[in-house]
Amino acid sequence: MVTRIKTDICVIGAGSGGLSVAAGAVQMGADAVLLEGHKMGGDCLNYGCVPSKALLSVAKQAHALGGGGRFGLAPSPAPAQVDFAAAKDHVRRAIDTIAPVDSEERFRGLGVRVIREYGRFISPTEVQAGDHVITARRFVIATGSSPLVPPINGLDGVPYHTNETIFEDREKPAHLIIIGGGPIGLEMAQAHARLGCQVTVVEGARALGRDDPEAVALILARLREEGVTILEGLQAARVSGKAGAITLETQDGQRITGSHLLVAVGRKVNLDRLDLHKAEVEHDRAVRVGADLRSSNRRVYAIGDAAGGMQFTHVAGYHAGVVIRSALLGLPSKAREDHIPRVTYTDPELAQIGPTEDEARALHGDALTVARFDMAENDRAIAEDRRAGFVKVMVLRGRPIGATIVGASAGDLVGIWAMAIANRLKMSAVAGTVLPYPTLGEANKRAAGAYFSPKLFESSVVKRVVRTVQRLLP
C-alpha cells in the first residue's frame, strides 16, 4: 500500500551535503524528508575521506618508527612488521566513532523523516521511495558519486578493489597494483608502501596531472624514495590472472604481476536510479545546474558531485548552504568555485586553491605576480626536519587568486588563502597578521611578505624617501 507524504523539502541522498540540507531545513522550521537506500554518511564516511585518512595515519606512525635515526633514535622494527588487520581495525573504529553523527537515529531526533529506500522521480513534483510517494515544494539531489571502472580488457574476470572495498580487506597485499595516479591512487600507494607492501602505480597520463608540476615532482620523488614504483604515460590494456596473482599488461607490452589490484581512475555521478527524464531534469554526466544549483526543473536542485563540479565533501557542504538560503529563505544565492581548496593527503601534502601558476600565467600574463616562500626556511619545519615544500601564491593587482602549498600540513595551511580569496582580501591582510612563533603557518605570512619585499627593499624611490626622512628627523 502506497503512503503519500507532502513536505517542504525532499533530499535524495544522505551523504554530507544531503545531511546538511536536511538538518538545516528542520532546524529552521521546515518539514524535511531524507531518502537513503544505502549507508548513512555516504561515500566520505564509509569509503572515502574518513577511512583513507585513518589508514594514512596508521601508515604515518609505521613510517615514523623506522625513521628515528636522523634524530638520534634507534629505529624500531621495519614497517613490514605492522599488523595489517589491526590497522584496518583502526579504520573501522574511526568510521564507527563518527557514524552516530550521521545516523538515522540522530536525524530522526532532529525531526527529519528518514526513509531508507532509494528515491526515483515519477513526475516533476513527485518522488517514489519504496512504498512512499513524496510530493515536495523543493527536491535536492545529493546522490554523490561512485568509483569509475574503466573498460579494461579482462577486468571483469579478475578480483579487484575500488575505494568501496579496499578498506574492508584485512589481508596485507604482497604487491598492490594501482591503476590511476590521481589523489586516491597515490594516497593508497604511500599508505600501503609504508605498511610493508610492494606497490606499483600505473598512470595513463601524468600523475596528479591537474596540479602544479613542481609540487607534484616533490611528492613523486618522496613516494619513489619510499619504494613505490610509479609508471606514467602507460595505459592499462589488459588484466588477467586470479586472486593472489594478477597481471596487468600496458599498451606498450609491459607486464606487472601483483597479488592485489586497486582501480582508482576517477568517479561517476550516481544518477542511474533517479529517472530524471520523468522530472524534466536535464543532465549529461551530472545534473545540469546554474550558479544557483537549480536544474531545468525549478523545483529540483543538485548539490555536491551530482551538480557536476568539484568532487569534494567540503563542496557538498558548501552547496548545502547555498541551497538552504535559496530554498528555505527565498534569498538569491549562487555557488562559486574560485575559493574552493583541494588537498592530496600524501606526505608531503599538496593543497591547491584557485589556478596553478601555469594556469594563472595563461589567464593573466604579465599582470600576474607569483610570491613564494620555501618551507626549508621555516624555523618550525627545520626544528621538526619537515623542510620539503613551498608556498606559492598567485597575485593579481594586490589580491591572491590562487595558492599552491606542498609540504607538511599543507591541507591546514591552505585555509588562510581560502579565507582571503573567499572574502577578496588583499595580500596586506595576510602580511599584517601576527602569527605565533614557531609555526608552519608563518610560511604563509612570509609568502605574503615576499610579495611586498621587492616593492619595499628594491625600490629606489623608497630608499630616497627613507634617506630624506632620516635627514629631516631630529
Which amino acid, one-letter code, is at 169? Answer: D
Q: Residue ranges of the alpha helices (H) in 150-196? A: 183-194
User: Residues 295, 275: contact at Cβ < 8 Å?
Assistant: no
CA atoms of 20 and 303, how far apart (whole Å): 11
The three grid cell numbers given for residue 168, joined into one nine-digit string: 574492508
DSSP state of 287: B
The three grid cell numbers given for residue 98, joined into one nine-digit string: 563518527
Question: Between the CA of residue 222 and those of 144, 184, 227, 228, 389, what are the distances in Å?
Answer: 32, 16, 9, 9, 11
Place of cell 573498460: 151
The three grid cell numbers given for residue 375, joined into one nine-digit string: 618551507
- Residue stretches of the annotated binding site for FAD: 53, 119, 143-145
- Residue stretches of the annotated binding site: 53, 119, 143-145, 180-187, 203, 266, 305
CA atoms of 221 and 77, how far apart (whole Å): 24
CA atoms of 347 and 286, how far apart (whole Å): 32
- Residue stretches of the annotated binding site for NAD(+): 180-187, 203, 266, 305
User: Residues 369, 395: contact at Cβ < 8 Å?
Assistant: yes
| Stretch (H or E) spanning 257 | strand 255-258
3-state secondary structure string, 168-211?
HCCCCCCEEEEECCCHHHHHHHHHHHHCCCEEEEEECCCCCCCC
